[in-house]
Amino acid sequence: MKIEADSHDITGHPHDDKSRLYLCTVCDKQFTRKDSLNDHKQIHTGEKLYPCTQCEKQFTNRRQLSDHMHIHSKKCKCTESGKCFSSNQELTVHRRVHSGQNLFERTVCSKRFTTSGELVVHSRIHSGEKPYKCLECDKAFSQSGHLNIHMRHHTGDLPYKCHLCDKAFSESGTLTKHMRQHTGDKPYKCYLCDKAFSQSGHLNIHMRHHTGDKPFKCHLCDKAFSCCGHLSSHMRVHTGDKPYKCHLCDKAFTASGNLNTHMRIHTGYKPFKCSLCNKSFTQSGTLQRHVQSHTPVDTVQTALHGIAEDT
């Protein structure tokens, strides 16, 4: 299967009586102008020769670049939300969000959509259709955008760069999450307590502490867990796998947290301090057992000593 265009694939025909003179031999599309054919060729080669002078985005043809520039000029701007779009058509579709106008309905689940394209994409949830196939591996996707993102794993392309450090990412959403490490922003707040999180997934996991929900169940015993990571760690109890190895001795552990705790033996770090006698410990459990060794008299004397210092 031919997937790239080269100099032999793009044919310019001499003038004749036909109105379409230029043929793309990759997909058999015809064009009346040579520059239109050249723009079309970028679809097959993957080249993006038209960069935006206002941001880092690049485009395969001049029309895409021209439409994109409307975002910077705010020519197609929603007066209600302030969002800018690359074309009046996109703006019209967006306005349906404010008006509540959903023109396209899915008969299987009765969901309604503002565009026919959204309906088509949603329909693939029911049909299981994945028309966008990766030519490098056997994965397939229901949306072209998901395939484009996946292809970056093969090409190593990381177009979304952090301007505060040297990290770069294949998806804009991953960059957005990363930026919260710099800003400290935690937009996902628990409505049952005062905790907040930088990612929605972390909030979802946290909410299970309130609801008691443990959807990840071990098929070898009766234990269940609130997140899949805890289940993965637990399964190593059954398999005996210990992937977290200490580079200073021959010990290995089933969980990264256990390795971190073990490393304090080598570093001497003791973050858990007793408020009654100032002794420090490498683990919180060791501190708790130590506190129980103090008699009530010790506790009272410590409290009186604190009062005397205050006076």
Q: Angle at CA 200, nearest 5°, toward 195 and 204?
A: 70
What is d(CA 76, CA 89) in angstroms, rounded to the nearest whole number? 9
Topology adopted by domain 186-269:
Double Stranded RNA Binding Domain (3.30.160)
What three-state secondary structure class fits 103? coil
Residue 53 vs residue 311, higher pLDDT: 53
Strand pairing class (168-169; 216-217): unpaired
Q: Is there a contact between 166 and 160 (Cβ–Cβ < 8 Å)?
A: no
Q: What pLDDT does residue 5 have?
A: 43
**Selection from 180, 178, 181, 184 nearest residue 161 by Cα:** 178
User: Tell me: the pLDDT tens digits for 111-146?
Assistant: 666 566 666 777 777 777 887 888 888 888 877 778
| Residue 77: its H or E element | strand 76-77
pLDDT tens digits, one per residue of 195-231: 999 888 889 889 998 999 998 999 999 899 988 888 8
Task: Read off the pLDDT of residues 64-78 as tens digits, 9 standing for 90 and up.
Answer: 777 777 766 667 777
pLDDT band, very low/low/confident/very high, at 298 (cuts 50, 70, 90) = low
Residue predicted with more confidence, 58 or 179: 179
* Statement: residue 309 has pLDDT above 90: no
| Residue 246, pLDDT above cutoff 80 | yes
DSSP states along 8-69: TTEEEPPP-SSS--EEETTT--EESSHHHHHHHHHHHH----EE-SSSS-EESSHHHHHHHH
Q: What is the pLDDT of residues 8-39, one digit of tens each?
A: 444 444 444 445 578 877 677 787 888 777 77
Q: Where are the domains of the chain?
A: 10-47, 186-269, 272-301
